[in-house]
């Protein structure tokens, strides 16, 4: 199922069902004819949310489910308008209830009140009928599901968040040779060098660059270290501001013509290591304006490391040495899987678990990101051989390795957690996100309370 459609529709339905429940409790004595319509709507929505969760787990009929959920979302917005109108009218009555000549909109012979009741009830009946039609469609899709439907408990989700948020592999596996090789290149150049690390996504390019950036062997080798993450969407002013911040320059106005001279001045006559991570485009003039002015002119060691998926980028940027990380072999892959999983679980020495783990790892094809994602997912679950076999079976070789491993992790989230995660899609890649702003957004949307 499309994650955005499913996550948003499920979240809207869930939040509206909660609002209905609270409204029915608080205002039930004065709702009269509306109470049964709202109660019926809540009951149907609760059931549809459960159906949607089952269909998400089993990836059933993507296009059909997407259309049903899109229709459901629109109906909920219509019902929410009516609910809001009822709230406003009831609140208005509470404010004016001391007026002796005030006649309720919900009962009596007040013409405007009678008109509102008739119109609202007609609309609610229509919405309930259309929601019922969507429910019947979802029921038809659910009939072929297996008897056992996977459920993710709150405890599992909580444990998953806690473990994966604090997990760090102590020593990167299979990257020691890569690290030592590049350090030799750096030390072998007395003045300047430009090194490229190229490979597919999830191969460990950024991890290698970080290992070098923080390498003890180079602690006293460079007086300045700068890390720049570029990604697909480039903002030159933000890049310059990031460089200035790392150079401890905070009083520069955000004008490129002003920032460039300050950067050149700060880097002149210094040994410096600069990492430009995740470069996509070949047409970058900003970095030439920074580096070409002083490279090789001040007899100081300048090292530029660039990570990218496109080797043509490195050629265009004048890289002199290129490193191509290799996929992990079977031993390294199993070692990485075991380390990630065993960080919070005692990895079973049982031969059946071992074979199941090896089967899963083989489908990762030596890609570190895929291995860590799958191992992290399994580490949040009770140790179950059947669970491992199910993951292996659903991990199809025909799908892109990283995408399917991330999809399995996404599917395992609760509806609420999916909504929280999808909110990040509105931000540009590698953008800095203020946690406080994000939490306010979640609360404002009713995702968290």
User: Is pLDDT of 322 > 90?
Assistant: yes
Q: What is the DSSP string of 323-339?
A: E-PPPP-HHHHHHHHHH
Does residue 261 register a pLDDT over 60? yes
Same domain, 384 and 317: no
Given pLDDT bands bounded at 50, 70 and 90, which one contains residue 205?
very high
Ranking 138-152, 186-200, 277-291, 320-334 by mean pLDDT, the lowest is 138-152
CA dist 220 and 271 (Å) reads 10
Integer Cα distance of 208 and 185 in angstroms: 14
Statement: residue 114 has pLDDT above 60? yes
Tell me the sheet residues that pair with 197: 307, 323
Same domain, residue pair 55 and 96: yes
What is the tally of structural domains in the chain? 3
Sequence-distant (≥ 6) Cβ neighbours of residue 314 within 8 angstroms: 196, 198, 306, 308, 322
Q: Using one digit for the tens of pLDDT, what is the confidence trace for 56-94?
A: 555 444 566 667 777 777 777 777 777 777 777 766 666
Q: Which pTM does this prediction carry?
A: 0.55
Question: What are the two backbone dihedrals, phi and then psi, of residue 97, each rounded to the nearest 5 degrees?
Answer: -70, -20
> Do β-strands 272-279 and 302-308 pair in parallel, antiparallel, or remain unpaired?
parallel
Task: Express each pLDDT in 275-298 by its tens digit.
Answer: 999 887 766 666 666 666 555 556
The reply to whether 208 and 69 lie within a common domain is no
Domain endpoint, select from 270, 291, 323: 323
More confidently predicted of 93 and 242:
242
- Residue 332 in domain: no
Distance CA 358, CA 366 (A): 11
Same domain, 124 and 218: no
Are 313 and 192 members of one domain?
Answer: yes
Pairing state of beta strands 224-231 and 321-323? unpaired
Question: Can you give the residue range of the structural domain that contains 15?
Answer: 3-142
Based on the fold, state whether residues 111 and 228 are members of the same structural domain.
Answer: no
- Same-domain check for residues 76 and 123: yes
CATH label of the domain that carries residue 193: 3.40.50.300
- Local confidence band at 448 (pLDDT 50, 70, 90 cut-offs): confident
Q: Provide the pLDDT for residue 156.
A: 40
Residue that terminates a domain, selected from 297, 323, 349: 323
Please give the mean pLDDT across all residues of the chain.
73
Is 329 within a domain? no
For residue 267, pLDDT beyond 60: yes
- Calculate ∠ Cα 276-282-286, nearest 5°: 60
Tell me how far CA of residue 170 lies from CA of 134, 141, 166, 180, 336, in angstroms. 51, 46, 12, 17, 11
Residues whose CB falls within 8 Å of the CB of residue 52, separated by 6 or more in sequence, listed in order: 6, 9, 10, 13, 65, 69, 138, 415
What is the predicted pLDDT for the residue at 212?
93
How far apart are alpha carbons 85 and 41 in whole angstroms?
A: 17
Structural domain includes residue 243: yes
Contact 402, 201 (CB under 8 A): yes
More confident residue, 79 or 211: 211
Residue 166 confidence (pLDDT) above 50: no
Hey, which bits of 207-333 come out as E strands?
224-231, 272-279, 302-308, 321-323
DSSP string, 338-369: HHHHHTTS-----HHHHHHHHHHHHTTTT-HH
How far apart are the C-alpha atoms of 250 and 347, rounded to whole Å?
49
| Same domain for 115 and 13 | yes
337-354 burial, b for 16+ CB within 10 Å, e for fewer?
bbbbbebebebbeeeeee
CA 419 from centroid of its chain's CA atoms: 10
Domain identity same for 189 and 67 = no
Q: What is the pLDDT of residue 161?
A: 36
Same domain, residue pair 129 and 57: yes
User: What pLDDT does residue 323 have?
Assistant: 94
Asked whether the beta carbons of 281 and 239 are under 8 A apart, the reply is no
Q: Domain ends where: 323, 358, 389?
A: 323
Residue 104 has a pLDDT of: 52
- Does 366 map to a domain? yes
Query: 6-10, 183-187, 421-425 — which one is most confidently predicted on average?
Result: 183-187
Task: Tell whether 149 is covered by a domain.
Answer: no
Distance, CA of 324 to CA of 198 (rounded, Å): 5
293 and 212 within one domain: yes
Most distant CA pair in the chain: distance in Å?
94
Residues 221 and 262 both lie in one domain: yes
For the cut 90, the answer to whether the pLDDT of residue 208 exceeds it is yes
Mean pLDDT computed over 192-198: 90
Residue 241 lies in a domain: yes
Q: Write the pLDDT tens digit of every residue in 11-20.
A: 555 566 666 5
Q: What percentage of the chain reaches a pLDDT higher than 70?
A: 63
Contact in structure between 9 and 30 (CB atoms under 8 Å): no
Q: Is residue 255 part of a domain?
A: yes
Quick check: is 199 in a domain? yes
């Amino acid at each position: 199922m499309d994650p955005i459609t499913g996550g948003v529709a499920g979240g809207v339905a869930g939040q509206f069902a909660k609002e209905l429940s609270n409204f029915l409790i608080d205002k039930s004595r004065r709702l009269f004819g509306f109470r049964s319509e709202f109660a019926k709507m809540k009951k149907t929505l609760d059931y549809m949310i459960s159906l949607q969760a089952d269909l998400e787990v089993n990836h059933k009929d993507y296009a059909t489910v997407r259309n049903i959920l899109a229709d459901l979302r629109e109906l909920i917005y219509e019902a929410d308008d009516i609910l809001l109108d009822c709230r406003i009218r009831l609140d208005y009555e509470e404010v004016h209830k001391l007026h002796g000549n005030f006649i309720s909109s919900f009962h009596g012979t007040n013409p405007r009140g009678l008109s509102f009741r008739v119109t609202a009830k007609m609309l609610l009946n229509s919405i309930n009928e259309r929601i019922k039609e969507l429910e019947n469609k979802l029921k038809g899709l659910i009939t072929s599901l297996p008897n056992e439907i996977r459920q993710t408990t709150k405890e599992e989700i909580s444990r998953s968040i806690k473990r994966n948020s604090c997990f760090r592999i102590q020593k990167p596996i299979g990257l020691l040779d890569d690290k030592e090789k590049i350090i030799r290149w750096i030390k072998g150049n007395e003045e300047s060098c430009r090194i490229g690390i190229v490979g597919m996504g999830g191969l460990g390019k950024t991890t290698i660059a970080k290992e070098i950036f923080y390498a003890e062997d180079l602690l006293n080798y460079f007086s300045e270290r700068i890390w720049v993450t570029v990604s697909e969407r480039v903002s030159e002013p933000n890049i310059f501001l990031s460089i200035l911040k790392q150079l401890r320059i905070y009083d520069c106005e955000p004008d490129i013509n002003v920032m460039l001279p300050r950067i050149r001045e700060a880097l002149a006559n210094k040994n410096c290591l600069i990492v430009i991570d995740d470069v996509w485009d070949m047409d970058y003039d900003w970095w030439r304006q920074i580096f070409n002015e002083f490279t090789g002119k001040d007899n100081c060691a300048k090292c530029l490391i660039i990570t990218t998926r496109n080797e043509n980028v490195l050629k265009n940027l004048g890289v002199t040495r290129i490193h191509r990380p290799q996929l992990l072999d079977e031993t390294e892959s199993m070692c990485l899987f075991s380390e990630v999983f065993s960080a919070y679980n005692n990895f079973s020495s049982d031969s059946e678990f071992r074979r199941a783990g090896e089967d899963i790892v083989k489908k990762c094809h030596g890609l570190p990101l895929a291995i860590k994602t799958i191992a992290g997912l399994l580490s949040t679950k009770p140790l179950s051989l059947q669970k491992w076999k199910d993951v292996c079976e659903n991990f199809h070789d025909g799908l892109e390795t990283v995408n399917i491993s991330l999809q399995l992790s996404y599917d395992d989230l609760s509806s609420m957690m999916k909504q929280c995660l999808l909110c990040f899609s509105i931000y540009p890649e590698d953008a800095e996100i203020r946690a406080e702003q994000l939490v306010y957004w979640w609360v404002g949307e009713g995702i968290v309370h």
